[in-house]
Amino acid sequence: MKMINISNKTIAILLVVVMIITISGTLISINRLVHFSESDWLTGAAVNTTTGTATITVLTITQITNRVPTINFGTGYVNETNGTDVCPYCQMDTITGISPGNVSCCALFNNVTAGFLLENTGTENMSVNFSCVGSCNASTFINGSLSVHLFQFKMTNGSDALNRSGDSVNDTSGSCSSGGGWNYTDWSNVSNAGSYLCGGNTTNYFFDKASASDAAIFDLRVRIPPDARTNIQQTANFTFSGNSIG
């Protein structure tokens, strides 16, 4: 048998070829492993997900607030003979207090200068009405001479009121500007029947919700004759209601 002699050069070349093949195979294997890892294709890889939920509910609120809940004219009497003057009555209102020129006639009564301040503290425009129970007219609240006694009310925009203390934000414009404005802007007699103050029915929501136009004053005026009933406290309880589309 004839022996084949392989030169050292040939052996070296073969070794280089083998090394190249080995290194190439290793690189290919590593590349495949990396590719599988990036694609989550490795056998036995675990996958987990979780979720989160956000919720919100925005409410509509119909709310009217009376910032001045009590009007207390106090206890007093009509000073009929004030020096040389004769006082036919004592007159007071919650706008100016005891009427100018009539101060000496109203003895001991409180000088009240703040009416009921009504504010729309909700999120909707609304209509406003009032009702009254108790002594809700001049004959029962004041008594005395029919030609003299008065128990009256009127409405004034918060932006126009002389005294609007209690308003969250002082109004700069009318609060019932739609539909002709507030009803009863002149003095009107109080009665048990009550009435709408702003708006007129369930479709007229004119009492504004905006902070710069959401308040009004429900003022009262009384005129007391000298022969009014004495020593008996009279009370009129007013209820103010707001209605909105919400």
What local confidence, expressed as pLDDT, does residue 22 receive? Answer: 73
Answer for the pair 99, 111: CB distance below 8 angstroms, yes or no: no
What local confidence, expressed as pLDDT, does residue 10 receive? Answer: 72
What local confidence, expressed as pLDDT, does residue 33 receive? Answer: 53
Predicted confidence (pLDDT) per residue in 90-102, tens digit: 999 999 999 987 8
Domain boundaries, the chain: 69-243
CA–CA distance, 155 with 187 (Å, rounded to integer): 8
What local confidence, expressed as pLDDT, does residue 20 receive? Answer: 74
Q: What is the pTM of this model?
A: 0.77
What local confidence, expressed as pLDDT, does residue 178 receive? Answer: 77
Q: Alpha carbon 14 to chain centroid distance?
A: 93
The CA radius of gyration of the chain, in Å to the nearest whole number, is 44
What local confidence, expressed as pLDDT, does residue 209 receive? Answer: 93
Tokens of 228: 């009014």
What local confidence, expressed as pLDDT, does residue 34 receive? Answer: 53
What local confidence, expressed as pLDDT, does residue 222 receive? Answer: 97
In which residue ranges of the chain is pLDDT below 70? 1-7, 11, 14, 16-18, 24-44, 82-85, 165, 202
Residue type, 246: G
CA–CA distance, 97 with 102 (Å, rounded to integer): 10
Predicted confidence (pLDDT) per residue in 50-62, tens digit: 999 999 998 889 9
